[in-house]
Every structure is written in C-alpha cells, then in structure tokens.
Amino acid sequence: MNMQLRKAFLVGGTALLTLAGAMAGLSSAAWSQEATFVMSTNEVGAPTYNPVKATMLNTATSLIYDRLVVQDADQSFHPHLAESWEEAPDGMQWIFHLKKGVTFHDGEPFNAAAIAAWIPSFTGTDNEYMVGAIDKVEVVDDYTVKFVMKHPEPNLLFNLSSVFMGIPAPKAYAELGDNFGVTQAIGTGPFKMESFTVGQETVLVRNEDYKWGSELSENKGPAKIEKITFREIPEESTAFLELKTGGVDMLLGVPTDFLGELKAEPNVGVVTLPGLDVAYMPINTTAAPFTDLKVREATALAINQKEILDSIYGGIGMEAHNFLISALPESQVDPKYNISYDPAKSAALFDEAGWKLGADGIREKDGQKLKVKLWTQSDTEFKRLTEAVQAQLKAVGMDAEITVFDSSTIRDQYKKNEHQLAVRSYSWNNADIIDWFFSGQRLGYPNISMWNDPKAEELNLKAMTGSKTLDERIANFKAYHEYVLSQFPFAPIYQPVQNMGYNKEHLKVPEKIRATQVEAVSILDMEVVE
C-alpha cells in the first residue's frame, strides 16, 4: 500500500526538486527545461517501477503511469483515465467510462481491453487485495468496462486512486515479464522513463503527446519541464544543505527540525500540507522478551510522545496515539485503546512480568539484563528520533542498543527476523494500512512486528472484505484497529505535517496543491523561472 504509497509512498517523505541546469556548463535554455527530484528517505531503494508487483514505490511512479481515479487533498475522488463511473445500489457492479484519445508510451491505445488485461495481473501479488473484490472485468465496448464484484467494496475508489494502481501498457507488460519496471516502465503518464539505476537515480523525459491531465491540474499537458532526474540521497541533511545554498530548487518533505532554519532563508518559500505519515516503533512479538504482552505494553507506555513532539519537532505536527492519521474516522477509537505515555504503569507492568530494576538502573530477570536491539535507518531525522526513544526506554530500565541500516537495505534486514524493536514511519491515508503492517500474511516485511494473531486475522478479514457500505467499513476497521492496539505490537510516536521548501527565484509552484501530496498533478503545473 510508505502505501500514496504504500503508498509506502505507502508509502509517508522527503524529496528534492532541483534544476539540472544549475550544473556547471549548461546553457540557461537547457537549465530552464530540466529539473532534479531527490527521493525521500522512505522512497530510497525502490527496486522496480512495476506498480502491480511492487511493495514500495516512489514519487516518480505517478509521472510514468496514470490512474483511473485521482484523490484531492480534501480526500474527494475525481476522474482521470475514467471520465465517469456508476456503482450499482447493491455494490455488486461498477461501470467505468474511459477517456478517449489516450495512448501508452509505446503507441498502443488505452482502452477497455487494457483494463481487462490489467486487473487479472494482480493475481498472486502482494497487491492483489487492492482488486481482490473484483470477480471479473467485462468489456462493454472499447471505452466502457464493467467490474462484477465478489462482494461490495466501499474502498474501491480509494484503491483505484493509489499509486500502485498506475496502469501499465498490456503488450509491454506481457513481453517484458520480470524486467517490466526495471529496464522499461511504460504507462500513459506525462513522463517516460529514460533510465533507471536502483538506489541511485531515475531519469524521466517529457511525454510530448500528453494532453489528458486530470481536473486536478490546470495544465493538461504536456508538462512544462522537459526532463526530470530523480536522485536517491538517503541523508536528509545533505539534501537540505543543497536547498539552503541554492543548488536545489525544491525539497518535498522538509524535516520539521529543519523548518525554522529554512524559513529564515530569503530565497526559500515553504508550503505545508496535512500529514500522511505516522512514526512508530514496531515491536517484534516473536522475539523475547516481547512475546510477553505485559512487556510489550510496558515498552509502549515508556514512549513520551509529547516530549518528542516538543524537543525534536518544536511542537510542529501532532502526537500519535494509535496507528492511523487523525484525519481518518477509523482513528477515532474508544479512548481507552489509545497508547499514551504512562511511566508509572510501565514500571508496574515490568515488575509484574518479573523484570526488576537493578542497581545500575537496568532491569533484569533470572540473571539476564533487559538489553534489546533497536533498529533504525540512516537519515538524520530517524537517528535523532531513535536516540530519543533509546533515552526514554533507558528511563524505565531497558538498555536498547541502536543499529543503523541504510534506507535501501533495512527492509531486507527485517525479513531475517533478527530485530526486536525499530523506529520507522509509513505514509498512507487509508485504514487498510493496518492490514498491510499487521496481517499474518506479510510476516517479515511489511509486518515487522511479526504479529500473527487468530482473532486479529478474523477482524482483518471482516474489515477488508465484509463491509457493504462505507459506514460499515469504518465500524469494522475501528474494531480491528482497537484489537491491534490492545495487543501492543507497536508503540505510536509522532504524526508530522508535510513541509515543502522551494527556491522562489528558480521555481514557480502552484498556489494550491491538489492531491494528498506533491505528485504528477502538481508537477504538471510547476515551471522553471528563467
């Protein structure tokens, strides 16, 4: 789903926009037509641009592929490659009327046949749940498709608006197999992939034929920028310094602790959007001592959300007390399930679990010290946040040793199941992120908590597939969310806002950002100022 993305885009991060023309030796004409985006740390290391099979994607994906539906910042849904749609009263059929005159980058037409080939391609992938409620696709005519449902899916429009629902060219997808998204990535989007080096950079060039931008963009195409290079820089402070010194034109996802310094720069403007991220501490429920529910709860209650908000983020953003962003109705759980700092209860629970405070301030049980592994990734903000968590854990008698992994490798490390605690974040604006990170079907990654609970799986199934209406879905997800919270497979920490800094002398940014984060619909309206 870090998830508009998984939109891990799930996907919740930092990105930079800079002009390639700032490099020495380029003419002012070339400079005005080229730009560089630097991936957020959460996006670093994406191994493919195959939206069907990927478990993580980045901002560039939204420029390569279009979707049937797009989502505005106010969470409303709008047509894109689908001009309109109708849902049957019982939710068992959806009809989509497709935009005419659209072509893929390889010249193949976009039509109903492309949709009929695309939906079945999700079978057997991690993203199958996105279309799992669709029983079959019927081609009504060249530009009309009918989705016959297995069961009602009140979340269908959200799923279709996800970056993971970018539509690939059917012919190229079939011919390239596992190389699709690596050697070539062919969609209908405003940019074509010129080159891709995993962990380093992606180069996109303007699709000169593009003229079907959604209503969220003033510019329907072609894009005003001719060439975009997406660089992957895992260290946020390095990227920030480039923006501050004029080498970078836009930074998407300015770390909050840099915000004050950024606003002091006379040539830099700042745009703020509601946050989609939650920073949290997954707890490995299969690793001792965290197999004990009391120890997990005691650990979660040791996290002082307010102290972190004030000391690291200057009070900008929000404390997180459950797993979902506060804008979602499914986050409004019974207050008794919210997880909040309670050092007295934490200490009592550790005592009940047999972990007594030693003379050195570290708890011990049966002659064993309470020493644990605490993992994080290598960008500045995560390291600072993890050090704060380490200090808070020590205050209740837990000695947490920090291990720092490169952002591009840490996901593979999680799959080895050698961690105990971690500090990380996700970016997503839908309740199904709970399924993504806590389903027993995804142990290792993205289920870093290694949590596989029979009751949770029942509640998960009901939430994901057992709802006929949106209200019923909200109620089912609340129940699932509350049970997850009661079992403490994680500790919530912080919910940021999205801060974007840009060089006002070099880049013109739309006054109003349409979409839930900066992506294709906003970038179509950006232009370089000569």
Q: What is the pLDDT of residues 483-526, one digit of tens each?
A: 999 999 999 999 988 888 888 888 888 888 888 888 999 999 99
Q: CB 155: neighbour CB atoms within 10 A?
A: 20
Q: In this predicted structure, what is the pLDDT of residue 387?
A: 97
Tell me which DSSP letter residue 420 carries: S
3-state secondary structure of 151: coil
- What confidence tier does 70 reach under pLDDT thresholds 50, 70, 90? very high
Domain residue spans in the chain?
15-231, 277-495
- What confidence tier does 272 reach under pLDDT thresholds 50, 70, 90? confident
CA 67/CA 151 separation, integer angstroms? 23
What would the pLDDT profile of 142-198 be if each residue is shown by its tens digit?
Answer: 999 999 999 999 999 999 999 999 999 999 999 999 999 999 999 999 999 999 998
- 373 or 12: whose pLDDT is higher? 373
Mean pLDDT of all residues in 253-278:
83
- What confidence tier does 15 reach under pLDDT thresholds 50, 70, 90? very low
CA 368/CA 512 separation, integer angstroms? 57
3-state secondary structure of 454: helix
Cβ within 8 Å of residue 184, ≥6 positions away? 172, 176, 193
Query: Does the pLDDT value for residue 242 go beyond 90?
Result: no
Q: In this predicted structure, what is the pLDDT of residue 255?
A: 76
Mean pLDDT of all residues in 34-50:
82
CATH fold of 277-495: Dipeptide-binding Protein; domain 3 (3.10.105)
pTM value is 0.74
Mean pLDDT of all residues in 190-218:
95
Query: Does the pLDDT value for residue 7 go beyond 50?
Result: no
Listed residue (235, 372, 319, 367) closest to 492, CA to CA: 319
CA 8/CA 277 separation, integer angstroms? 10
Beta bridge partners of 16: 38, 251
Query: Does the pLDDT value for residue 258 go beyond 50?
Result: yes
Q: Checking DSSP bridges between strand 34-39 and strand 227-232, what pairing results, if any?
A: parallel
Mean pLDDT of all residues in 62-87:
94
Domains 15-231 and 277-495 share a fold: no
- % of the chain exceeding 70 in pLDDT: 94
- What confidence tier does 407 reach under pLDDT thresholds 50, 70, 90? confident
- What confidence tier does 25 reach under pLDDT thresholds 50, 70, 90? very low
Query: Does the pLDDT value for residue 22 go beyond 60?
Result: no
Note if the bond before 492 is cis, omega within 30 degrees. Answer: no
- State the SS3 of 277-340: EEEEEEECCCCCCCCCHHHHHHHHCCCCHHHHHHHHHCCCCEECCCCCCCCCHHHCCCHHHCCC
- % of the chain exceeding 90 in pLDDT: 68
Assess contact for 216 and 77: CB atoms under 8 A. Answer: no
Mean pLDDT of all residues in 232-257:
78
- What confidence tier does 49 reach under pLDDT thresholds 50, 70, 90? very high
| Average pLDDT score over the chain | 89
Query: Does the pLDDT value for residue 359 go beyond 70?
Result: yes
3-state secondary structure of 147: strand
Assess contact for 399 and 378: CB atoms under 8 A. Answer: no
Token duo for residue 518: 């900066």
Q: 3-state SS of the chain: helix, strand, coil percent to 5?
A: 30, 25, 45
Mean pLDDT of all residues in 308-312:
93
- 67 or 430: whose pLDDT is higher? 67
Mean pLDDT of all residues in 79-85:
97
CA 496/CA 312 separation, integer angstroms? 11
CATH architecture of 15-231: 3-Layer(aba) Sandwich (3.40)
Mean pLDDT of all residues in 11-36:
43
Assess contact for 461 and 488: CB atoms under 8 A. Answer: no
Choose the weakest-confidence range: 234-238, 277-281, 373-377: 234-238
- What confidence tier does 370 reach under pLDDT thresholds 50, 70, 90? very high
- What confidence tier does 11 reach under pLDDT thresholds 50, 70, 90? very low
CA 209/CA 189 separation, integer angstroms? 10
CA 489/CA 103 separation, integer angstroms? 46
Query: Does the pLDDT value for residue 343 go beyond 70?
Result: yes
CA 300/CA 287 separation, integer angstroms? 15
Mean pLDDT of all residues in 378-403:
94
Query: Does the pLDDT value for residue 231 go beyond 50?
Result: yes
- What confidence tier does 21 reach under pLDDT thresholds 50, 70, 90? very low
Mean pLDDT of all residues in 270-285:
91
- 508 or 450: whose pLDDT is higher? 450
Query: Does the pLDDT value for residue 48 go beyond 60?
Result: yes
Token duo for residue 17: 């926009």
Q: Checking DSSP bridges between strand 368-369 and strand 82-87, what pairing results, if any?
A: unpaired
Q: In this predicted structure, what is the pLDDT of residue 529?
A: 82
- What confidence tier does 1 reach under pLDDT thresholds 50, 70, 90? very low
Residue type for 50, please? N
Listed residue (320, 250, 186, 257) closest to 38, CA to CA: 250
Mean pLDDT of all residues in 231-257:
78
Assess contact for 455 and 440: CB atoms under 8 A. Answer: no
What would the pLDDT profile of 464-481 be if each residue is shown by its tens digit?
Answer: 988 888 899 999 999 999
Note if the bond before 289 is cis, omega within 30 degrees. Answer: yes
